[in-house]
Homo-oligomer: A and B are copies of this chain.
Amino acid sequence: MGARGMFAPSAGYDRALTIFSPDGRLYQVEYAIETVRRGTLAVGARAVDGVVLFAEERLRKLQDVSLSQKLFQVDDHVGAVAAGYVPDARVLIDNARVTAQNHRILYDEPITVETLAKRLGDLAQQYTQYAGVRPFGVSLVLAGVDRNGPSVFTTDPSGTYLGYSAIAIGGGSDQLNEYFEANYSESMSMDDAILMILRGASRTEEHKVLDPRSVKMAVIDVKTKRMRRLGIDEITSYLEKAKEQQ
* A→B interface (CB under 8 Å): 1-8, 10-28, 31-38, 60-64, 66-67, 69, 84-88, 90-91, 94, 114, 118, 121-122, 124-125, 127-137, 158-160, 162-167, 177, 180-181, 184
Q: How far is the CA of A166 from the CA of B158 in the complex (A)?
A: 31
Check A24/B17 contact, CB under 8 A, given A2-B4, A132-B132. no
Cβ A37 vs Cβ B24 within 8 A: yes
Q: How far is the CB of A131 from chain B (nearest CB, A)?
A: 4
B contact residues around A69 at 8 Å (CB): 160, 162
Q: How far is the CB of A61 from chain B (nearest CB, A)?
A: 4
Contact of A4 among B11, B88, B134, B136 (CB under 8 A): B11
Q: How far is the CB of A68 from chain B (nearest CB, A)?
A: 10
B contact residues around A118 at 8 Å (CB): 90
State the number of copies, please.
Answer: 7
* In the complex, residue of chain B having the shortest beta-carbon distance to the beta carbon of A32: B20
Cβ A163 vs Cβ B64 within 8 A: yes
Contact of A24 among B3, B19, B36, B86 (CB under 8 A): B36
Cβ A23 vs Cβ B1 within 8 A: no
Cβ A34 vs Cβ B22 within 8 A: yes
B contact residues around A23 at 8 Å (CB): 31, 34, 38
B contact residues around A160 at 8 Å (CB): 69, 86-87
B contact residues around A184 at 8 Å (CB): 62
**Supplied contacts A25-B38, A64-B162, 16 more A-B pairs, CB within 8 Å:** A4-B8, A13-B14, A14-B19, A14-B20, A20-B31, A20-B34, A20-B137, A22-B27, A62-B164, A66-B163, A85-B158, A86-B160, A87-B122, A87-B158, A87-B160, A127-B129
